[in-house]
Structure 1
Amino acid sequence: MEPSEFKDYYEILEISPNANSDTVDRVFRYLAQRYHPDIQDTGNQHRFVEIVKAHETLRNPESRAQYDIEYKKYVGRYAIAPEVSREPEAPYEDSVIQEKLLSLLYVKRRRNMNNPGLGNLELERLSGCPREFLEFHLWYLKEKGLISRLDNGLMSITATGVDQSNQGAKRSRAAKFLTDSRGLVMA
């Protein structure tokens, strides 16, 4: 496979090369549902085809083993900075990550008002967002007044952040109801 033809299936599925088969399947279902061409708001034929091909390759242990050999060569020789390798849909992906971070902080505050914060490592682990990208999202959410840093150094959602999170939840529920009524859920 030529370097210019190489497709990073781990990046396409937004998973770690160490992801187990259950994670590969779960993320595939989520992304396939989101980018299915029949979905009006988020459908993307090209992205959907890439997601299906990545899943077909990574779900089979034999084809994944062969792919991993090429992947290691690619990463060793042709990897570029993560900031440059992002796809054109980065602003859309950024909003998804930011909604996820707000949701995590919302749940933490709701469950424990006396200790409502989460640290960067915990946010990185729970969100699946690598540290180099997490810092940007935390900066952005903090600048917008949606989160704040507590005296103990942990991040916590603000009242404005709760309002924003609730708006995102309403949009998600509306999209799910729309999707379910059209029979496009690929569970």
Structure 2
Amino acid sequence: MFTDFYELLEISPNANSETIERIFRYFAMRYHPDNRDTGDDSRFSEIVEAHNTLKDPVKRAQYDIQYRDNLGLRRELTEEASNTKGLERDVVIQAKLLALLYVRRRQDVNNPGIGDDELERLSGCPREHLDFHLWYLKAKSWIARTENGTFAITVEGIDRANAEHRREATITTKLLDHAD
């Protein structure tokens, strides 16, 4: 896991060596294990590691490459989390998967499963995204793996699909009533 040494030392990535040294001394005294009031072994070790990395120009240059890569990942994460269309799309995909598995169970209660590849094709969701949705639906106990390894809707999943259908029907009815 990536550790942000700049954040740990509470300094700017543009901090010069004098600033790094000054801040290190402050935190080292504060968190040193011999300090009875604020000593903290693990925090002290982190501070020493950050200092040793950032004070060495070669190590710092290598670390800064990782730092920039991590910043890019955080930016992507923040942008995706801010995009409500992505969340809406996920809800639609999960509802579609439940609907597919619901229909399959209704068509053949004794052989209700659909395989991974078929779910990918029917849902139009790429494998790398489908894994997230299948994990979520399994964790909610709305789907499960069958004995032959396919996915099938559970009783809880059928209840969820039915509840969603009733909610959507109620909303549609109210919208139509107000349109008159």
In the superposition, the TM-score normalised over structure 2's length comes to 0.51
2:37 is matched with which residue?
Answer: none
1:175 is matched with which residue?
Answer: 171
Change (3 A) 1:178 1:129: farther
2: distance between equivalents of 1:120 and 1:172? 28
Question: Which structure's relative contact order is higher, taking Cα pairs within 8 Å and 6+ residues apart?
Answer: 1
Matched, 1:88 2:73: no
Where does the alignment leave 5 or more consecutive residues of structure 2 unmatched?
Answer: 1-75
Matched, 1:115 2:111: yes
Query: Residue 126 of structure 1 is aligned with which of 106, 122, 137?
Result: 122
How well do the aligned residues superpose, as a CA RMSD in angstroms?
A: 2.3
Query: Residue 93 of structure 2 is aligned with which of 97, 103, 112?
Result: 97
Measure how far apart 1:125 and its partner are.
1.6
Measure how far apart 1:128 and its partner are.
1.6
Q: After TM superposition, what 4+ stretches of structure 1 lie above 6 angstroms from structure 2?
A: none
Measure how far apart 1:181 and its partner are.
3.7
Identity %: 49
Q: How does 1:1-187 map to 2 (within 5 A)?
A: 86=80, 87-183=83-179
Measure how far apart 1:172 and its partner are.
1.6
Measure how far apart 1:182 and its partner are.
4.5
Where does the alignment leave 5 or more consecutive residues of structure 1 unmatched?
Answer: 1-82
1:89 partner SS? helix
2: distance between equivalents of 1:150 and 1:108? 13
Aligned residue identity for 1:133: H
Deviations 1:52-88 (A, max 9, x none): xxxxxxxxxxxxxxxxxxxxxxxxxxxxxxx867533
Measure how far apart 1:130 and its partner are.
1.5
Q: Which structure is larger by alpha-carbon Rg, 1 or 2?
A: 2
Deviations 1:79-122 (A, max 9, x none): xxxx8675333222212211111111011001101110001121
2: distance between equivalents of 1:136 and 1:169? 23
